[in-house]
Structure 1
Amino acid sequence: MSPTDSFNDDINDYNQHSSTGTGYLQQDQPEIDKQQQSKDSVFFRDGVRRIDFVLSYVDEKEGDRKQEEKRKIYEANLVKVGLELETEDKSESDDGKTYFVKIHAPWEVLATYADVLKIKVPFKANDIPDNKEIPMNWLSTPFRLPEHIMHPEPDYFTAPFNKSKSDFYLIDDKDTFFPPSTRNRIVYYILSRCSYVRDECVDRDKKGIKRLLNNGAYTAAFPLHDYFYLSLYRKYYGEKIGIYFAWLGFYTEMLLFAAVVGTLCFVYGLLTYDENEWSKEICREDIGGKIVMCPLCDKKCGYWKLNSTCNSSWQSHLFDNVGTVFFAIFMGIWVTLFLEFWKRRQARLEYEWDLVDFEEEQQQLQLRPEYETKCTNRKLNRITQPYLPITSKCARTCLSGATVIFWISLIIACIIGVIAYRLAVYAAFASIMKDSPTSQLHVVGPYITPQLATSVTASCINFIIIMILNLMYERVAIWITDMEIPKTHLEYENKLTVKMFLFQFVNYYSSCFYVAFFKGKFVGYPGNYAYMFGSKLRNEECDPGGCLIELTTQLVIVMTGKQVWGNIQEALVPWLMNWWGSRKARCHPESLYSRWEQDHDLQPFGQLGLFQEYLEMVIQFGFITLFVASFPLAPLLALFNNIIEVRVDAWKLTTQFRRPVAAKAHSIGAWEEILNGMAVLSVVTNAFIVAFTSDMIPRLVYMYAYQPDGQMNMKGYIDNSLSMFNISAIPLDNRPDDEENPPWFNSSITICRSVVFYFMTKRYFALRVSGLFFFIPYIQISSTSVLLLKLRDFSFFEQLNTSVIS
């Protein structure tokens, strides 16, 4: 049976059950002049029938009979199904050119389609005692609104609605029995299946409001905002948006604990600021002031003294200390707790929202109209459905994959370009700053080294490139997903989610991965330097204080810039567009600016509206988990952002966007698997950052293995951690020009120092093995925490017993 045949059966079923005539404005209802209505009225002119949906169109072409005919047939079919329509003439609208068709679903229609869609409704009050002993519930209790503010609704036993047994259900008032989300979902179900041609057997695919919107017959279709009813998001917007806010609220609650621990680690760095022995040695004139360092680039970089990095060494200690190791381990456990506790919260919501058997409902959803239109082939079997030939499907999938790979390659090319910028500009900064006594540039307060200047400018350029590529790729991702012709709406969302996330993952995190795991690892050593792809640009070295401070800088700029830009896009841009649109639309300020006109002038909440919200939060989740060992304050920044985000999203949905059609969802969908994957990856990345990027392991190795006379302190660490190279052994092509060397450099200086070591020396081998000794236990601790959490879950034992018995 095709979807069209199914809808025809729905119409016949309605006609068999309906006992009252329906149609356009009924004559027995008194009509009220528009000017006598409240501007926020959500009722027909009779003040009784609620407006469940609104269609709008502009009839600018008087001779366009074709579009007019489509609308006429379509609206007649809507009336035939049982909907009631009332049209506002363009002369009554504020702009003088837009028609509004208001739609009301009477009880008979709602009851019929609630039966068809198997919508669950209450039939008995829940008499099971509420179990207040929820594990770990005390952690989130302080962040929940009290009951006298929330006014929780009573709990009921529910069952799928059966129109023939309506007396079985708790129906106090037929007008309010179905919540607004259910009413507009039923109406949209009808709108998406109703035909707009006379002979439906000839043109089976010419149906649905989406096609009428695409071909311009209607300009908009939306349910109205009802600010008098607005209460629970799930009742108002449906479960799909409700589960998003539930997840965002839970994520924000859990962020508080990570933010507190991260802040304590940062405070520990501040309190131990004066105990930083290695920074003292760097800054001391008799130690760091006498250590001559090898040039960091060829020709244009001169020799320099170690004490020029005094400030960056102190700054690095704030984030690279013993607390960093503890925080990295804590975050490995936190991310596991977050995911496991969310699964429990989601399961509880699934039960409370009657979504336990939602998977069965999902299989009954209609095919996408685009799929039915483009797939003209049909399988001849018991259920005749359109299908896409395997050859066409493979070709479209290959083209889609190739496009994604091309764009990811484009990102990598841009990152390589930024790296080349770092190498080229570093020499310029070093040449400019060489006249300063300490090879630094004084800029209103702190000293800025060539490394810091290069890092900050490169991070800003990288952020701009990220934003530009995001804007371009979003359109490409939608285009290639449409080209694949997904079968259902769920399949469409999953395909788009994978494409967008893969791109955003590479786009946002590639520069951080470069700084964390590649920069300073392939530089060679004086006399045998490594160059970028055979060019004259020498690979970057890390600052003597390590690459961690540069990773922190990169993370702060990209993460903060992403959140600020996201809030501007979410809040400021829609507000400005609505303000400008309403300003242009008000041709007659003295006339009544009705509720449907106000909503019509708002921004449409497109199919990617909620998708973008999830994507923004998941990218943020990556920042606070993948690289959090380099910046313990990242959860705190994310917490502040999310506190604002919850309110901005609520304000935006209720005041700046048209009300979206309610939809059901029992989980956060594909995002859950993405979060699981990122959680596993974060354990590995943080272990690598502490083991191989941070200077924590080299310091511990020195303290326990290289400290003379068994003293447990860091005296002498700086001298021990630097390699020595004979200046005469450095090739002439690598040596700085004479004019680039500082005034204090002379021929009596024969040795320069470097942070790099010869490959496979005893020192190099000791550091790498020590890093592995940290990395492996860290992974084991995180894995054990996952197992213990699963063992605590009673359902795990049930699954285990079931599998053993089977």
Structure 2
Amino acid sequence: MGDPDLLEIMEEEGKGSSRDPCYDFPMSEQSLNSTETSFLISKESTPAKRYNLFLRRRLMFQKSKQSKDSIFFRDGIRQIDFVLSYVDDIKKDMDIKAERRKEFELNLRKTGLELEIEDKRDSEDGRTYFVKIHAPWEVLVTYAEVLGIKMPIKQSEAPPPENTHLSSILGPVKLPVKLKYPHPEYFTAQFSRHRQELFLIEDPATFFPSSTRNRIVYYILSRCPYGIEDGKKRFGIERLLTSNTYLSAYPLHDGQYWKSSEPPNPVNERYILYQNWARFSDFYKEQPLHLIRKYYGEKIGIYFVFLGFYTEMLFIAAVVGLACFIYGLLSMEGNTNSIEICDPEIGGQMIMCPLCDIVCDYWRLNSTCLASKFSHLFDNESTVFFAIFMGIWVTLFLEYWKQRQARLKYEWDLVDFEEEQQQLQLRPEFEAMCTHRKLNPVTKEMEPHMPLCSRLPWYFLSGATVTLWMSLVIASMVAVIVYRLAVFATFARFMESEASLQQVKSFFTPQLATSLTGSCLNFIVILILNFFYEKISAWITKMEIPRTYQEYESSLTLKMFLFQFVNYYSSCFYVAFFKGKYVGYPGKYTYLFNVWRSEECDPGGCLIELTTQLTIIMVGKQIFGNIKETIYPLALNWWRRRKARTNSEKLYSRWEQDHDLESFGPLGLFYEYLETVIQFGFVTLFVASFPLAPLLALINNIVEIRVDAWKLTTQYRRTVASKAHSIGVWQDILCGMAVVSVATNAFIVAFTSDIIPRLVYYYAYSTDATQPLRGYVNNSLSTFLIADFPNNTAPSEKRDFTTCRYRDYRFPPDHENKYFHNMQFWHVLAAKMTFIIVMEHIVFLVKFLLAWMIPDVPRDVLERIKLEKLMTIKILHEFELNKLKENLGINVDERVKKHVMIEENKV
């Protein structure tokens, strides 16, 4: 009887009823002391019997034979639902922290939770204590009722999904039915501890999934008090983690991910997920979404549902985009523009004006022959079709996602879901900073309150910080532009020598070389700014002192999205809508800071430069993101395990193994959603310039799903399960980007590509009936008299020709209105504006029609929701009626017996 754990248990057995300090429920003796094993034996068993059984099992257990993968207490019976860890900090506030822990753990025991502490001498590093927490049956049923958790009451008679012809074709992609649907479909109802007979409780030990168990325990941990400080009641594990009273708090994984569990451990769902979800060799298979939800909870589950659905929809866009690219590839050799530019008798005879002052020389148009062919890949007739198609695709994607989300709500019992209360809980930092209290009109209790005047300075600082960093992004973009202008002359000096006036066809023109290096430099700057801003935005959001976790996440979302929108897209917006639009003309160029000439586009337009910019940033971001998500947790975990394994003779237990893993953190999903939304912007906002963007996004997402699955399953601690019925504010952001994408793609087709000027020439100015586009290149170039060059801009080397050509629609030097815009310029401008208006109206009309035609909730889901509500009411009614009849029957029998006894006594 010298075992301290047994003494502690015996003391617990002797206690009477208590009250939950977190909630004012009366907690029975059974709720404080019973185990799931005693529940299986008899609900009516006395405390002495329960103790005797537990004592026998405890004395039979030998700790030396405990498996390192065990997820049970030392008795081998009670499952570990949560783990807390701490070290004795002798440097700072050791006594205060110890007192907090003592009070906190005492109050946890009063709520009915059972605790077991592992001494630091038994840990691998010799300095960490582990507090293992088990939630007994009565605690689970009590808080399942408090949280309104829905549990099965009757198996649905709906037939299981059948294999169709399409399913047989997609057989290799499909998962086995038992894995895809790990349990039958049930009718469910909110759990009630007074109606336990109503629910399908076959085994209390497995009735509540481990994700539900850890959610309930975390709910208790987040509300349990640990003392009074400065006259205020302090509570919650989050505050204790913030003050380093505890190092970590986490639920356990089921076991090792590389091997299945052995009895008495339950089925290792982590291993099943790794084998069927997290391995890269299964990249082509669908995801076991129901098992993900069961293991990690609805919030993480719905992220993977969204990512998978988005990837499936990208497949359609990728196929169409690839078809447009193949069309451009097949029509490249027959493109009239490229033929004329490459022709020595046409493009070879056109002397182009210098692209910079003094040091740049004249050059022949056919030197851009290969670049013009490459430009045709993305700037052809299919560009307009693909821009319109993507405007419709994004509408279909969002509407069908609403349907998928509605179906998911029904399948995951989220129809009547209310906001997760953890998100509405006051943040410890808010309570610590508050000096005022205010009466809550709903609860009629005094709550911490921070007046607006106290927050206002931080709001101003936050707004100023965000504005400053967005301005810094713009300044960085301008610096890259200056770099490109400054080095262009250097490239031109090396690449535009005498050869530029020869019949030379070159792919790496000064424009392209400058664009490539500038895009790479811009991508590096984006990554650097993004790294520092993430730290600053998190700090400034904390300084705003948000009241709840939901307010904190919303504030951070706004800051991060605004910054990353500007950071990743500003350079693309510049190339698409500003570059080459304000150049001027020879002799009267526009200068940046009165020093550098504004950048000009290639004679074929700026679309190829936009494609280059988009490709480098999008592909670079995706590759860097996947490498970071793989290497970062892997390296940290290796280093942490290396430092922890100092006492190799000690048992490296399940809780220590998980302790050495990286924490996913409350904002882990936030950054995953942000990454996906930024990619969505690349796919939609500028897709008219790069039809292969959906294909690249598709390939990345196939890898991304497995990378996220791998790191969650193998490199991160198990997250606390939490509910979510949608992707939240991200859906509003996606809808906003979808609307903006219609305008951006219309402007790209009109002002960045060369399709509209070609169409105007085709229908209004062409004189060749057999080949209407013949002569377009010559028509699109204006003529400038070399003698009109100012001395400070003319090339230093004199030439024997008198005129040069430049891209614009202006009158020639011999016209009375020389160098003014001619009528064709206004025709082209009118055609561009008309195209923008027509395209936007067509796409928006189709969008609104599709949104109206496609219901947010499918009809079959509505019918099943109504059926489930009716069946639930019917089942509850029958249960209460039978219970009432049973009670009435007992009472009638008792009255009859009493009446008979009275009559017999009379006789």
TM-score normalised over the length of structure 1:
0.92
Cα distance between partner residues in 2 of 1:261 and 1:353: 34
Question: 1:387: Cα distance to partner?
Answer: 2.0
Counting only pairs closer than 5 Å after superposition, residues 402-413 of structure 1 correspond to structure 2 as 402-413=464-475
Counterparts in 2 of 1:313-352, with a 5 A limit? Answer: 313-352=372-411
Q: Say whether residues 1:386 and 2:452 are aligned partners.
A: no
Instruction: Kindly provide the CA deviation profile for residues 415-449 of structure 1, in whole angstroms up to 9, marking residues without a partner as x.
Output: 1111111111111111122336248999xx97411
Amino acid at match of 2:629: E
Change (3 A) 1:504 1:141: farther
Q: In 2, Cα distance between the equivalents of 1:463 and 1:271?
A: 32
The Cα of 1:172 is off from its aligned counterpart by: 1.1
Query: Secondary structure at the residue paired with 1:30?
Result: helix
CA–CA distance in 1 between the matches of 2:70 and 2:673? 33
Which residue matches 2:33? 20
In the TM superposition, what whole-angstrom CA distance separates every residue of 1:492-537 from its partner, at most 9, and x where no partner exists?
211111110000000000000000000000000011110113x210
Residues 191-224 of structure 1: CA deviation (Å, up to 9, x unaligned): 1111222x58x74342211121122211111111
Q: 1:484 to 1:364 in 2, by over 3 A?
A: closer
What secondary structure is seen at the aligned counterpart in 2 of 1:708? Answer: coil
TM-superposed deviation, 1:38: 2.2
What's the CA shift for 1:466?
Answer: 0.5
CA displacement at 1:580 relative to structure 2: 2.0
C-alpha displacement of 1:668:
0.4
Is 1:746 the counterpart of 2:807? The answer is no
Counterparts of 1:34-53 in structure 2, within 5 Å, are 34-53=63-82
Residue 485 (structure 1) shift: 2.0
Aligned to 1:774: 835
Change (3 A) 1:573 1:593: same
Structure 1 stretch displaced more, 69-78 or 303-312: 69-78
Work out the CA distance in 2 between the residues paired with 1:313 and 1:645. 35
1:536 aligns with 2:595: yes
SS at match of 1:359: coil
User: Which shows bigger deviation, 729-738 or 709-718?
Assistant: 709-718
2 CA distance for matches of 1:457 and 1:364? 46
Shift of 1:397: 2.2
Give yes or no for contact 1:319–1:632 (8 Å, CA) kept in 2. yes
Instruction: Give 2:279's aligned residue.
Output: none
Looking at both structures, which has the greater relative contact order when contacts are Cα pairs under 8 Å and sequence separation is at least 6? Answer: 1
The answer to whether the aligner puts 1:619 opposite 2:678 as a matched pair is yes
After superposition, what is the alpha-carbon deviation per residue over 1:122-146, rounded to whole angstroms, capped at 9, x for unaligned?
Answer: 1122235689999x99999996535
How far residue 28 of structure 1 moved from its aligned partner, in angstroms, is 5.2
Shift in Å, 1:786? 1.6
Q: For residue 735 of structure 1, what is the aligned residue in structure 2?
A: 794
- Indicate whether 1:206 and 2:234 are aligned: yes
Write the distance in 1 (CA, Å) between the matches of 2:94 and 2:312.
56
Give the structure 1 partner of residue 872 of structure 2.
none
Higher alpha-carbon deviation: 395-404 or 125-134: 125-134
Deviation at 1:35, TM superposition (A): 4.2
| Aligned equivalent of 1:599, options 642, 645, 658 | 658
**Which stretch of structure 1 is more off in the superposition, 91-100 or 55-64?**
55-64
- In 1, Cα distance between equivalents of 2:552 and 2:833: 43
Cα gap change, 1:66 to 1:386, in 2 (>3 Å) = closer
Aligned to 1:458: 518
1:639 aligns with one of 691, 698, 703: 698
Q: Please, which moves more after superposition, 393-402 or 505-514?
A: 393-402
Would you say the 8 A contact 1:440–1:450 is kept in 2?
no
**Residue number in structure 1 paired with 2:121:** 91
Instruction: Give matches, 1:107-256, under 5 Å.
Output: 107-127=137-157, 144-197=174-227, 199=228, 203-227=231-255, 228-230=268-270, 232-256=291-315
Written as runs of structure 1 = structure 2, the 5 A alignment for 1:464-503 is 464-503=524-563
Q: CA 1:753 to 1:142, structure 2 compared with 1: closer, same or farther past 3 Å?
A: farther
C-alpha separation in 2, matches of 1:441 and 1:80? 90
| 1:345-744 correspondence runs (5 A) | 345-359=404-418, 365-380=424-439, 381=441, 382-435=444-497, 437-438=499-500, 447-533=507-593, 535-738=594-797
Deviations 1:146-169 (A, max 9, x none): 525424421112221111221121
Amino acid in the other structure paired with 1:771? K
Q: Given the superposition, is the C-alpha separation of residues 440 and 378 from structure 1 closer, same or farther in structure 2, using an over 3 Å criterion?
A: farther
> Pick from 843, 846, 849: which aligns with 1:788?
849
Q: Are the equivalent residues in 2 in contact too, given 1:78–1:194 (CA < 8 A)?
A: yes
Asked whether the 8 Å contact 2:342–2:369 carries over to 1, the reply is yes
- Structure 1 gaps of 5+ residues are 1-5, 739-744, 799-806
Deviations along 1:351-397, one digit per CA (max 9) or x if unpaired, are 22121222366599422232233223222352432222122233332
Q: For the structure 1 residues 441 and 260, does the alpha-carbon distance in structure 2 shift closer, same or farther, using more than 3 Å as the test? A: farther
Name the counterpart of 2:58. 30
- Rounded to whole Å, the distance in 2 between the matches of 1:85 and 1:489 is 28
Output the amino acid matched with 1:246: V
- Kindly report which structure 2 residues correspond to 1:65-104, keeping only aligned pairs within 5 A, or say none: 65-104=95-134
- The residue that corresponds to 1:801 in the other structure is none
Are the aligned partners of 2:296 and 2:721 in contact in 1 as well (CA < 8 Å)?
yes
Q: Is the 8 A contact 1:122 1:157 kept in 2?
A: yes
Distance 1:440 1:203 in 2: 88
Residue correspondences, number:
779
| Most deviating of 335-344 and 772-781 | 772-781
Q: Distance in 2 between matches of 1:113 and 1:504?
A: 41
Identity of aligned residues (%): 59
Which structure 2 residue ranges, 5 or more long, are not aligned?
Answer: 1-18, 36-46, 256-267, 274-290, 811-819, 860-907
The residue type paired with residue 789 of structure 1 is L
Q: Which moved more, 1:155-164 or 1:692-701?
A: 155-164
Query: SS in structure 1 opposite 2:21?
Result: helix
- CA-CA distance at 1:11 after TM superposition: 5.3
Change (3 A) 1:364 1:527: closer
| CA deviation string 1:159-194 (max 9, x = no partner) | 211112211211111111111111111111111111
Quote the Cα distance in structure 1 between the aligned partners of 2:425 and 2:829: 57
RMSD: 2.8
Tell me the distance in 1 between the aligned counterparts of 2:97 and 2:307.
Answer: 43
| TM-score computed with the length of structure 2 as normaliser | 0.82
SS at match of 1:400: helix
Instruction: Tell me, in whole angstroms, the C-alpha distance in 2 between the residues paired with 1:697 and 1:212.
Output: 64
Moved more, 53-62 or 654-663: 53-62
Task: Give secondary structure in 2 for the equivalent of 1:753.
Answer: strand
Q: Is the 8 A contact 1:704 1:712 kept in 2?
A: no
How far apart in 2 are the matches of 1:364 and 1:498? 17
**Aligned-residue offset at 1:94:** 1.1
User: Tell me, what secondary structure is at the counterpart of 1:331?
Assistant: helix
- How far apart are the structure 2 equivalents of 1:794 and 1:252? 22
Cα distance in 1 between the residues matched to 2:375 and 2:528? 31
Q: Contact conserved, 2:368 with 2:507, CA < 8 A, in 1?
A: no
Q: Secondary structure at the match of 2:838?
A: helix
1:303 to 1:495, Cα distance in 2 relative to 1, 3 A: same
Instruction: Write the deviation string for residues 233-269 of structure 1: whole angstroms up to 9, x where unpaired.
Output: 1111111001100000000000000000011111111
Structure 1 counterpart SS, 2:377? helix
Deviation at 1:478, TM superposition (A): 1.0
Q: CA deviation at 1:284?
A: 1.3
